[in-house]
Structure 1
């Protein structure tokens, strides 16, 4: 095994993650849901200019936040491209020419790029946290204002009371589905950790896998390489069994997520009908859409936290290579050198795909920061009843068209 075996043992503390470019699939519907729910809230506050201005301010803040998120993801694209076009060719040159000192310099430069991204993402996470608290304050302000105006009303109609009861039943069903989804996600996380540990242990016994595990923090390519190597059949059977369980759990998760979203759309529809009746009685509608806005902002924030953790892992992996591989003791070994060069070629392809995935994220934030909030340019109070209804129907249709993506391909081998 030689130098690669040493690398495998020394990189054992750094666990490759199954986190993959598939996070984009979560980012797209979440960002769209935020703007559409803002739109609904904006329509519901048409008769209340003070609250309408407050909501517009929060929506504009979200729009600006998405613009800053776009800039951070663009930096991720640039760094991924730099790894492919600069770092990996330089490492190849250093290995071929037996120049470990040069390789260390290149790796440290790459770690500097990555450290900048980590700091930028951390700042974005903090900004989302502050903004979400501001949205919560706005929700509280609307509730306070609603209480004051509702005092002037004798009582809500029986129709409104019936609608509220329907919404409560749907919310109870949604809470039950969400609990089932959370439990399924916990099972998936546990199986993923089990699969990671199994693949990591197998990688430590294979020269090529050990090097690839250090260069690529994705578990999919490691699985693919392991199967192609056609060794350790007993381990391969265990891995296949875990993959099968993961695929089954992922299918269950996708089904629950779709069920969850269908219930959310139904609740949104009933709340909109309720809001319309409340507006007819000059009562401020419940600010429930803003609660949903907070939820999806939190979801985007969690994706950014994942992104930060991902780059921290990459930073650590490159540090391991720098400190424990390019020490001059293994570069003269032909087998080690050839395996390292093969792994760099594989890593280049994987990182290129990751950069493209981040590029799609850039486009998602770009659309959301520029086009999705144009409804703020129109005063909802100026809309006729027919135009207001048409606007509502349009937003409702777009919400219903949002689909939950299938998670299972991200857990299987990436081709």
Structure 2
């Protein structure tokens, strides 16, 4: 039998961006805690905090930020017409972003390829090893998978550093615009009453946005508490069920775990309580989704208002505020945060496989236990399905980055200073239409928490 330590589950989501409950849950042999990487280990009362996502769709949260970035650059480019120095600086930053997105595309392709390797190579090899009672073969398969995963972790870490460096470059560009604006503003007369009214409206929308984010924060805190309550029930169930223990090692998504607890019917009261908490989490996630959609709508209105204000100031010969460059930084930061989440996810998977290798296949008696072997083989089949889905989400996100690197930055080929007033207006309207069509990828499960 497996001697296990059920680890803490903790939520690690970027403040203001978390979209669904993220549960961190893992079975780790107590004698292997010293092997856990420092960045993934926080010892307190003999418990360990590790990162495991509840939904493989989290990676698609990259999409709106990637799509929005090029459009915001385009708006900034249009707003800096007739200021050649600033046009040149912005063109350089946008080109750097385009190159960075190309590298991000390659990284997501590697994530998808590794997921496919898990489905087509690792899990079948693991299954064959168990069927043939060959523990050594199983251990070699798991070690090979950890090599693949560690390569991804290293590449994601490098990419995060590149995004951080690039974001500082964009911030420097914003500073250049502000300095140029300060010099120009000395020669511009005081804003008209219409401009003042728009500025007040922008302030009002910013306040509305702040209030909405406060409400999101309140719901996130409630979700975190419910997650903690749910983890206790899952921990208790896994202690009594070998099949669930195997699933925790091979499937790092909470949905299948809850379903297994319900189907096991070993402890009906526990299953009912777990289902109730899961339903509460679904309700909270729906409320949060509505607030995130409201936040997005405020952003759309705010963007339109800011552009009208920018147009008026341009007509007066003033440099508008670099608000869209600030939004570019926000998008880049969001992408960086999700990359960090991807890195933590793969680190946790690596540790799970190490635990599975050391705790399960080190015990020669395990493969002689027909009942446990059958349970383990069924779990592998289930794991293949979930990993295949994760790989598809990676490919979908990779496709968006591919489009962004090809056509989204064609506007850089023409100086906005050379555009006629009519062409400037046409491009401006076209970008606004595209921005309004982008929807936030709120990561709510396609299947509700209620278990059929």
TM-score, with normalisation over the residues of structure 1?
0.95
Deviates more, 1:298-307 or 1:220-229: 220-229
2:161 matched residue in structure 1? 126
Q: How many Å separate the matches in 2 of 1:411 and 1:185? A: 20
After superposition, the Cα gap between the structure-2 partners of 1:410 and 1:346, relative to the gap in structure 1 and judged at 3 Å, is same
- Alpha-carbon distance, 1:6 to partner: 3.4
Q: How many Å separate the matches in 2 of 1:341 and 1:197? A: 27
Deviates more, 1:8-17 or 1:169-178: 8-17
- Alpha-carbon distance, 1:200 to partner: 3.0
Is structure 2 residue 425 aligned with structure 1 residue 377?
Answer: no
Match of 1:68 among 95, 103, 116: 103
Asked if the contact 1:95–1:337 (Cα under 8 Å) also holds between the matched residues in 2, the reply is yes
Asked if the contact 1:24–1:361 (Cα under 8 Å) also holds between the matched residues in 2, the reply is yes
Q: How many Å separate the matches in 1 of 2:400 and 2:224? A: 27
1:340 matched residue in structure 2? 376
How do residues 276-295 of structure 1 correspond to structure 2 at under 5 angstroms?
276-295=311-330
TM-score, with normalisation over the residues of structure 2?
0.87
Is structure 2 residue 222 aligned with structure 1 residue 187?
Answer: yes
How do residues 317-328 of structure 1 correspond to structure 2 at under 5 angstroms?
317-327=352-362, 328=364
After superposition, the Cα gap between the structure-2 partners of 1:52 and 1:411, relative to the gap in structure 1 and judged at 3 Å, is farther
Match of 1:356 among 387, 392, 395: 392
After superposition, the Cα gap between the structure-2 partners of 1:193 and 1:126, relative to the gap in structure 1 and judged at 3 Å, is farther
Match of 2:112 among 67, 70, 77: 77
List per-residue Cα deviations over 1:38-71 (Å, max 9, x = no partner).
1110110011111011111111111111111111
2:3 matched residue in structure 1? 6
Higher relative contact order, chain-length normalized (CA < 8 Å, sep 6+): 1
Match of 2:210 among 175, 200, 214: 175
Name the count of aligned residue pairs: 412
SS in 2 for 1:408: coil
1:402 matched residue in structure 2? 438
Q: How many Å separate the matches in 1 of 2:224 and 2:204? A: 31
List per-residue Cα deviations over 1:96-115 (Å, max 9, x = no partner).
12111121111111100000
1:303 matched residue in structure 2? 338
SS in 2 for 1:152: coil
Match of 2:244 among 169, 184, 209: 209
After superposition, the Cα gap between the structure-2 partners of 1:389 and 1:16, relative to the gap in structure 1 and judged at 3 Å, is closer
Q: How many Å separate the matches in 1 of 2:74 and 2:190? A: 28
- Alpha-carbon distance, 1:264 to partner: 0.9
- Alpha-carbon distance, 1:83 to partner: 0.8
After superposition, the Cα gap between the structure-2 partners of 1:114 and 1:406, relative to the gap in structure 1 and judged at 3 Å, is closer
Q: How many Å separate the matches in 2 of 1:194 and 1:365? A: 38
- Alpha-carbon distance, 1:14 to partner: 7.2
- Alpha-carbon distance, 1:204 to partner: 2.3
Match of 1:40 among 39, 63, 75: 75
Q: How many Å separate the matches in 2 of 1:23 and 1:407? A: 6
- Alpha-carbon distance, 1:263 to partner: 1.0
Is structure 2 residue 221 aligned with structure 1 residue 224?
Answer: no
After superposition, the Cα gap between the structure-2 partners of 1:19 and 1:410, relative to the gap in structure 1 and judged at 3 Å, is farther
Q: How many Å separate the matches in 2 of 1:353 and 1:257? A: 25
1:249 matched residue in structure 2? 284
SS in 1 for 2:336: helix
Deviates more, 1:198-207 or 1:388-397: 198-207
Is structure 2 residue 63 aligned with structure 1 residue 28?
Answer: yes
Asked if the contact 2:61–2:442 (Cα under 8 Å) also holds between the matched residues in 1, the reply is no
Q: How many Å separate the matches in 1 of 2:212 and 2:76? A: 25
- The answer for unaligned runs of 5 or more in structure 2 is 7-26, 30-47
SS in 1 for 2:55: coil
1:156 matched residue in structure 2? 191
Q: How many Å separate the matches in 1 of 2:242 and 2:51? A: 16
Asked if the contact 1:196–1:219 (Cα under 8 Å) also holds between the matched residues in 2, the reply is no
Aligned-residue CA RMSD in angstroms?
Answer: 1.9
Q: How many Å separate the matches in 2 of 1:374 and 1:281? A: 28
Deviates more, 1:268-277 or 1:13-22: 13-22
- The answer for unaligned runs of 5 or more in structure 1 is none
2:20 matched residue in structure 1? none
- Alpha-carbon distance, 1:412 to partner: 4.2
- Alpha-carbon distance, 1:194 to partner: 2.7
After superposition, the Cα gap between the structure-2 partners of 1:209 and 1:249, relative to the gap in structure 1 and judged at 3 Å, is same
Q: How many Å separate the matches in 1 of 2:286 and 2:206? A: 24
1:18 matched residue in structure 2? 53
Asked if the contact 2:118–2:387 (Cα under 8 Å) also holds between the matched residues in 1, the reply is yes
Asked if the contact 2:258–2:275 (Cα under 8 Å) also holds between the matched residues in 1, the reply is no
Q: How many Å separate the matches in 2 of 1:16 and 1:373? A: 35
After superposition, the Cα gap between the structure-2 partners of 1:200 and 1:221, relative to the gap in structure 1 and judged at 3 Å, is same
Q: How many Å separate the matches in 2 of 1:375 and 1:123? A: 29
SS in 1 for 2:366: coil
